[in-house]
Amino acid sequence: MTMMTVTRDAQWVDGFRRDLRHTLRSFARNPGFAAVVILTLGVGIGATTAVFSVVNAVVLRPLKAPHAERLVRSFSISSGRASDLPSPYTLKVWKELTDVFEDVSAHRLDSVPLIGGSEPEQVSVGRVSEPFFRLFGASLVAGRTFTADEDRPNGPAVAMLSTEFWARRFGSDPQIVGQTVTLGSVPHTVVGIIAAGFDSEQFEPRPDLWLPLQTDPDHVDGGSIYQVTARLRSGVTHEAANAALAVQYARLNPPTAATAERTRQGRWIAEALQTAMVGGARVSLNVLVAAVACLLLIACANVANLLLVRAETRKREMAIRTAIGAGRGPLVRQLLIESLVLSLIGGVVGLAVGVLATHALLRLYPGSNPFMLGALGTLPRIGESGAAVTVDWRVLGFALLISIATGVIFGLVPSRHVVGSDLNPLLQQSTLATGSPGRRVNARMVLVVAEMALAVVLVVGAALLVLTSMALRRVDPGFDSEHVMTMRMAVSGTRFETRAGISELARVGVERTQGIPGVVRASTTCCMPLETVWQLPFVIASRAGEGLTQAGAMRFHGFGGWTFVSPGYFDVLGIPVLKGRDFTFSDDANAPGVVMINEAMARRYWPNGDPLNDQLIIGRGMRPAYDQEPVRQIIGIVGNIRDTGLRDAARPAM
């Protein structure tokens, strides 16, 4: 029995080798046919592999953090809107749930000027809570991470360096630990060096330096924008964590007559970190996967049609081989080997083309804007210029699997067509004009119909995407970006901690910029359109005693976006001043407080009145600095800007 099995296996291997040699000689005699099939498959497999490599990087690849399956992102839901930018109060509550969360950390990306050395440099800075490095498994080259004492409000000025920045800026000097680096005008003591390659995947670009966040959990601070990540305790499920958060929310936010509906809709939730990071990109990736799947099936149908045509010319060959003793099994094996060889070579070509095309396209991808925190629609986890989209075992395995699958799919059709028919009559014919034209035509017609159907699906989908793109381009965003150049700078130091210092910087900066040849107008702002801005509460001064909502120390009529701008901002971006006047440089720290609002805010809160006859009290109760803000006279109304995206209506803005 064993001897017979070994003999059969040896015969099968010998037969496979003969069929493989025959296949290669056949393709060498007909290189044009082989090239067309390989290129057709290369396009289909290449597109599929390219999209899969992105899906792998964004969705399938596990997070690099230890126990990543237990990491969650904090979301606050209020009035039907979900936000992953919680308040310090939310952060405090999460930290208190020690039976649910093991570590709770907040983080955000900043940009700060590094002073010293041959020239100043603007560096990216990761501001993080003390548990951050434990959560994401950072290792050190030297020194230590931050302590809880250093992370408290007004704590010591300390910093950590990334290995890459340490090597580039300080030549990997081991004596840098314990020395100071000046960020803005504040010296910071270097306490540690993060090991090379550490990537929490929470920042783009990766930080050069790290600073303690030092947030005050007792302040309701609308200006502290960050994201919160936590690790569930072992054995705690996502459902149990969300149940505990619901109980805590209900206890700490008892509804009142004025806030009953908002409280009923509000809650805190913990979402798996990887799911939260992928966010809205999942829908776009699913659409791409469906599109390339259609493209691959079209390629398979094309190749199957080519093989059917070729099979017709080989029926007499198959009949002769059958007559001299070849069984149907070896004939099917021969045809499948031919299709598999073509698909595997096409897979290699497709993998190479897919990888090159993916990186070429991702280099053109604008990437995530670190100033659009919580924004949907961007691709996370792909790294700068798509550097994180690599060929790992998943991509190689997928390319191999899809190559084998396509080879079997388009190889079975012609093999069944050839081997499944009665070949004996062909031996008695001098030509191949007869045969089984009905079956041949039917098989090819089915493939053509399938191709047409899939092509229609792709064309319709592409047309819908084009129409959507055209519709979005027709949407008026409220500003004109044509011929507008933007530059960024970090402002820090005691000189700029006052309104007078900021006003002087804006005035001098605008004057010097406008002196550059070719510059027509210039202005300064904290935030460009579509970027994240603070939402601050406001009280309408003429109605200060009526219709107010109470939330902690805050009493307000509503919330509005709060953007700092210098004179000329609306002119630079083509935002019309609909009523009143624009700012001037005489509206400085020594002048009475003034504010401009957008049309959406004017219509909502003054439907029958004139906002220019009113004043606003802005931000009271959110942070101490806002409590010192003057009562501001409304001096102008400007056009609306779609601040959260082109699909959403403009919100009230100040």
pLDDT, tens only, 38-72: 888 888 888 888 888 888 988 889 998 999 999 99
Distance, in Å, from the CA atom of 300 to the CA atom of 37, rounded to the nearest integer, reads: 9
pLDDT at 555 over 50: yes
Q: Give pLDDT, residue 424.
A: 55
Q: What is the pLDDT of residue 30?
A: 79
Interval 112-161: pLDDT, tens: 888 877 777 888 999 999 999 999 999 999 999 999 999 998 899 999 99
Is the per-residue pLDDT at 263 higher than 90? no
pLDDT classification of 443: cutoffs 50, 70, 90 = low
Tokens of 240: 């149990």
Alpha-carbon distance of 117 to 180, in angstroms, equals 12
What is the C-alpha to C-alpha distance for residues 344 and 330, in angstroms, rounded to an integer? Answer: 20
pLDDT in tens, 585-637: 889 888 899 999 999 999 999 999 999 999 999 988 877 778 888 999 999 99
121 beta partners: 114
What does the domain layout of the chain look like in residue ranges? Answer: 22-61+280-472, 80-265, 494-638
* Averaged pLDDT of the chain: 82
Q: Is the pLDDT of residue 522 over 50?
A: yes
72-87 average pLDDT score? 76
- 178 CB-contact burial (10 Å; exposed 0-12 / middle 13-18 / buried 19+): exposed
The residues that bridge with 186 in the sheet, in sequence order, are 183
Instruction: Report the alpha-carbon distance of residue 343 to residue 398 in Å, rounded.
Output: 13
Reading the block at residue 268, the tokens are 């805190």
Cα gap 124→458, rounded to integer Å? 42
Percent of the chain predicted with pLDDT > 70: 83
For 307-355, how does the pLDDT look when each residue is reduced to its tens digit (9 = 90+)? 777 766 666 666 666 656 555 667 777 777 888 888 888 889 988 888 8
Q: In the predicted model, what is the mean pLDDT of residues 184-209?
A: 90
Q: Which of 231-240, 250-259, 382-391 has the highest mean pLDDT?
A: 231-240
The DSSP 8-state label assigned to residue 346 in this structure reads H
> Structure pTM?
0.75
Q: CA 358, CA 585: separation in Å to the nearest integer?
A: 49
> Does the pLDDT value for residue 187 go beyond 50?
yes
Would the pLDDT of 218 be above 50? yes
The per-residue pLDDT for 456 is 79
Give the separation between CA 65 and CA 80, rounded to whole angstroms: 31
